[in-house]
Amino acid sequence: MIQLLKNYEASVGMYDEFIQDRNSGIHHYQNFVNRLSEMTVQDFMALNENAKLSFLNQGVTYALYDKKESVEQIFPFDLFPRIINPTDWDKIEKGVIQRNIALNHFIHDVYNEGKILKDKIVPEHLVKTSKHYCKSMEGFSPKKNIYCHISGTDIIRHSDGDFYILEDNLRSPSGVSYVLTNRVAMRRVFPHSFKDMIVEPVENYTDKLVQAFWNISEKPMGEIFCVLLTPGVFNSAYFEHTYLAQNMGIELAEGRDLYVSNDKVYLKTIDGDIQVDVVYRRIDDAFLDPEVFRPDSFLGVKGLMRAYLKGNVTIINAPGTGISDDKAICAYVPDMIKYYLGEDPILNNVPTYICEREKDLQYVLENTEKLVVKPVDMSGGYGVCICDQMSKSELDELREKVKADPRNFIAQPKMLLSTLTTYIEEEENLQPRHIDLRTFTILGGKEPFVLKGGLTRTALKKGNLIVNSSQGGGSKDTWVIKK
C-alpha cells in the first residue's frame, strides 16, 4: 500500500489536505494511512471493486442525460476519506448556520416588506429579474417564516488555506443520500478505521429532517402526513428520493398520486384518500403546479399553490427560494449577514464580479482570461467557463455572450480548490485531486442543524477544478472528528 502513496506529491501552489495535515503535525490521516499499509495493492483494488459492486447492487446510481436517453451510473466513490478536524468544522458549521439564517431572513423580506431592497443593500432589479423570483409568494409567509428548510452550501478551501462559499443551493439540494450511503460503505470496507478516531455520525440526518417537518407543521408528533414529491424514476436524483422517503418513513409520491380538493392536498391510496400536511418536493418550482407555473407540467399537482397559500400544506423548500441560488444575488450574502444579523460573515464568499454592474462588466471583459465565468442560474457545473483553458475565439464568443446579456453572468477569480488523496483506477495509485464540500443545513427544527460531514466531491481528472458528478466527478466519505 505504501507503494500506492510512494510518489504522492501535491502540485506547486496547491493546498493538499493530506500533506498539510502531515506537515502541521495534526496527523489525522496517519491512522488511516497506517491501516492501508497493512494491505497489499491487490487487496485495496479488490476492496475498491467490492465497493463499486455494492453500490451497483444497491442501485446507488444517478442518471446522466445524453441526447437519446438517460444513462444510469454509479456515482464514483473514493475509498480515501476526507477528514475535517474539529476546529475547521466548528468554523464551517457556525458559518453555514449564520449564512442560511441570513438567507432565510432575506427571502422573507423580499417577498414581504422588501426592506433590504428599499435600503438598496441588494438591488431590487437583480432580485425581481431573477429567473427564480416567484410572484405568487409576494405577501405570503409560510409557517414559522421558514423558507429554506434544507440548504446545500458548497464550500471550497483555497490555496491560502481558508474556506470560501462557492454557491448556495436552496431549491432542492441533492447529494445527502450519498453522504449516508458512503458512510455505510466505508464502515463495511474499513471497520477498524472507525476505532482509531471518533467520527461524528451522519445517520441522524433523516430523523432531524422529520423532526423539523413535525415542528414546522405545528401538529403533534406522528399526526402529520408527509410525502416526498418526486418527478419519477427518470430523474437524475431518483435514487436519493427513494432513499430519503424510505429512511424518513414517508410516502414517495409522484404528481399523479396527489390531487387538490377544497384547497387541500390529498394522496390517492387503496384505502381512500389521505390529506397531506407536508410536501417535501424534489421538483423545481416551474413544474410544481401547472395552475401557477408551467401549464404543460405533468410532474406537479394542479392547485398545490392554492392549498399552500391558504396554509393547508407546507411545501419544503418554499417556492421562490431559488432567488438565493442566483449567483449574482449570492454575491450579496455577506451584506445580508451584516444587514439582518449585525455580524461579520464567518465564511467568506468567493469574490464575485456581477456583470450587470457596469464597472464589474468592464473588468470582466478586460480580464476574461484570468477569470471563471458562470451563468447565474445554472447548477451542476454546467456552463462554467474556466477562461485560462479557452482558446482566443472561444473567449471572444464568451465576451459577446456576456455583453449581450450581462444579467445572466458573474465572474470569479480562479479559485484553486484544495486537493486530496484519491485513488485513480487507471493509474492504480493515489494522486491529489481537487475537492469541495457540500454541507446540509436544516432550519425549522428546535434549533438549526448542520449534518456533521457533508458530501465531499472530488474531480477524477488531473487538474480538473469542476467536481460535479455531471462533469465526471466522484465523492468521498467525509469524517468530522469529534471534539
Partner 1 sequence: MLTRVAESLYWIGRNIERCEHCSRYLKVQYFSTLDAPMSQNKDFTLRSILFMSGSDFDINTSVNEGEVWQKVIFDYNNPNSIANIAQKARENAKSIRNNLSTESWEAINKFHLFMKGLDGSKFNSSKVFQFSEKIILHLSLINSTFANTLLHTNAWSFINLGIYIERNLQILRILKSKISDITILTNGGINIPLMHYQWITLLKSLEAFDVYMNINQRQLSTAEIYKLIISNELFPRSVIYSGQKIKRHLTNISARPLGFDIILANLEKSIDECIAFQNFDDEEKVINFINQNYENISRSHLEIQKLYF
Chain residues in the site for partner 1 (CB under 8 A)? 56-59, 232-233, 238, 242-243, 245-246, 251-254, 256-257, 267-272
User: Closer to partner 1 at the Cβ: 279 or 417?
Assistant: 279
Residues 420 and 476: beta-carbon distance below 8 Å: yes
Q: For partner 1, give the closer residue by CB, 254 or 285.
A: 254
- Between helix 392-404 and helix 358-366 the angle, nearest 10°, is 170
Cβ proximity of 60 and 239 under 8 Å: yes
Locate cell 418536493: which residue?
281
CB of 263 to partner 1, least distance (A): 22
Nearer CB in complex with partner 1: 59/351: 59
User: Which phi and psi (to 5°) does residue 367 adopt?
Assistant: -125, 25
Burial of 234 (0-12, 13-18, 19+ CB in 10 A): exposed
Radius of gyration of the chain (CA): 23
> What is the rounded end-to-end Cα distance, in angstroms, of the chain?
30
Residue type, position 146, single letter: I
Supply the minimum distance, in Å, between the C-beta of residue 220 and partner 1: 24
Output the CA angle 287-322-82, nearest 5 degrees.
Answer: 110
> What's the min distance (Å) between Cβ of 260 and partner 1?
16
Shortest distance (Å) from residue 413 CB to partner 1: 43
Q: What string of DSSP letters covers 161-222? A: S-EEEEEEE-SS---HHHHHHHHHHHHHH-TTHHHHS-BPP-TTHHHHHHHHHHHHHTS-TT
Distance CA 52, CA 130 (A): 40
Q: Which is nearer to partner 1, 2 or 270 (CB)?
A: 270
Please state, in angstroms and rounded to a whole number, the distance separating the CA atoms of residues 342 and 47. 50
Phi-psi region of 338 (alpha: psi -120 to 50; beta: other; left: phi over 0): alpha
User: Which 8-state DSSP code applies to residue 369?
Assistant: G
C-beta closer to partner 1: residue 118 or 256: 256
The residue among 251 and 335 lying less far from partner 1, judged by its C-beta, is: 251
d(CA 259, CA 343) in angstroms, rounded, equals 44
Q: How far is the CB of 375 from partner 1 (least distance, A)?
A: 32
Q: Compute the least distance from the CB of residue 64 to partner 1, in Å.
A: 16
Of 188, 234, 233, 174, which is closest to residue 55 (Cα–Cα)? 188
- Tell me whether residue 267 or residue 384 sits nearer to partner 1 (CB atom): 267
Least distance CB 245 / partner 1 (angstroms): 4
CA 8/CA 423 separation, integer angstroms = 11
Q: Where are the alpha helices (DSSP H) in 277-344?
A: 304-309, 327-330, 333-336
Shortest approach of partner 1 to residue 1 CB, angstroms?
A: 30
Nearer to partner 1, 88 or 257 (CB): 257
Q: Closer CB to partner 1, residue 58 or residue 112? A: 58
CB of 203 to partner 1, least distance (A): 15
Residue with Cβ nearer partner 1 (232 or 413): 232
Which of 296, 295, 314, 347 shows the shortest CA–CA distance to 304?
314
Provide, rounded to whole angstroms, the least separation between the CB of residue 342 and partner 1. Answer: 44
How far, CA to CA in Å, does 419 sit from each of 16, 83, 349, 432? 5, 12, 19, 5
Please identify, using beta-carbon distances, which residue of 61 and 145 lies nearer to partner 1: 61
